[in-house]
Amino acid sequence: MMDLALTKLTQLAFGYWQSQTLFALTQIGIFEAVADQPRTGFDLAQELQLDEMAASALLRAGVTLGLLREQEGEYGNSELATRFLTSSSQEDLTEWVRTMSQWVSPWMRLEQVVRGEAPKGLEQARLSKNSSDERRFILAMHQFARRTSDRVSEALDLSDARVLADIGGGAGTYSISLCRRYPFLKSQILDRPSVLPIAEEVIAEAGLKDSISTSACDYRFDSFGDQVDVVLMSNVLHQESRQVGRSMVQRARDALRAGGAMVIHGHFLDNDHVRPTFSVLQDLSATILWQGGGNYTVGEVEKLLEAEGFDDVRSERIPESATTLCRGRRA
């Protein structure tokens, strides 16, 4: 009989073998290289300047994991890879997978961080001038979030709103979805100066240049505007300390008109702190990646809103994205 407890332990211990196989195949560009026609291991090794034996082991691991297919010595993409890991697919998640592979190095320091050493994660990347890493991160978040952004928008009734401030709005994923749904809504993305050209590119591609503008902002200190109808903070609070989070909510309140809506969206924890699994692991990830960062429980977000003078505070889980929308109205 199968020992389920041992199976669980071995899955946990070997888990990174699978991730690393996916990351290596993606970073080396195997999925793109075989997108048009299947190739032999020898051809791929020649073209991509790989060690032939190691490449062969990697390709076979890709087959075992359901990422590649092999027929008569030629490798092609599986359905999963064709759908998610090739640039011609509408559902391409390559940038997102590449970003996940960059998080391996900060995650390797989990033990040291827990022992009290400072995280050396994306905090540095965030402050660095490495624009290709930045572009990758912003597009990665967009690739992933756009899959479910319409489900999040559907849960928000903004039919009376005209002005939205999207704090740390990134590529504009949620502004795009909301402005498509509410044609009278104008959104302003407030993000770091280096992110704005990336957002502008994505907004232009979406044909929403007249509805969505961008403005440079350091959300840790700057004002979020005046007489705004809605302030959206999506997937940002976990990157900051509690102190910064409180200040952000206070400045959101100051920016809103009376009766305006505050919307906080993210992978919040259940109030028992141990569910859902992704949110719990994202909490750990934020601890490693962002100095002072960490996830909130839904109850903590609600208390924060109430403490800062919002009423009609409520929360709603969005099953498709496994996220939660917490809302309050400026009294």
Residue ranges in contact with ligand SAM by CB under 6 A:
126, 138, 141, 145, 168-170, 173-174, 191-192, 195, 217-220, 234-236, 239
Q: Which is nearer to ligand SAM, 21 or 321 (CB)?
A: 321
Distance CA 82, CA 87 (A): 9
| Smallest distance from ligand SAM to CB 96, Å | 11
| Smallest distance from ligand SAM to CB 301, Å | 15
Q: Which is nearer to ligand SAM, 94 or 234 (CB)?
A: 234
Q: Tokens 């995650």 — which residue?
A: 107
- Mind giving me the DSSP string for 154-175? HT---TT--EEEEET-TT-HHH
| Smallest distance from ligand SAM to CB 13, Å | 29
Specify the 3-state DSSP secondary structure of 191. Answer: strand
Read off the tokens for 275: 């569910």
| Smallest distance from ligand SAM to CB 81, Å | 24
Distance CA 84, CA 183 (A): 31
Q: Which helix (H) or strand (E) holds 253?
A: helix 242-255
Relative to beta strand 256-266, strand 228-234 is parallel
| Smallest distance from ligand SAM to CB 222, Å | 8
HEC assignment per residue over 296-318: CEHHHHHHHHHHCCEEEEEEEEE
Q: Which helix (H) or strand (E) holds 38?
A: none
Q: Which is nearer to ligand SAM, 217 or 228 (CB)?
A: 217
Q: Which is nearer to ligand SAM, 44 or 288 (CB)?
A: 288
Q: Which is nearer to ligand SAM, 239 or 287 (CB)?
A: 239
Q: Which is nearer to ligand SAM, 174 or 182 (CB)?
A: 174
| Smallest distance from ligand SAM to CB 208, Å | 16
Task: Answer for the pair 119, 109: CB distance below 8 angstroms, yes or no.
Answer: yes
Q: Tokens 């505007």 — which residue?
A: 225
Q: Which is nearer to ligand SAM, 34 or 189 (CB)?
A: 189
Q: Which helix (H) or strand (E) holds 93?
A: none
DSSP alpha helix (H) spans, the chain: 4-28, 30-33, 41-48, 52-64, 79-84, 94-102, 104-107, 110-114, 122-127, 131-145, 149-154, 173-181, 196-205, 242-255, 277-289, 298-307
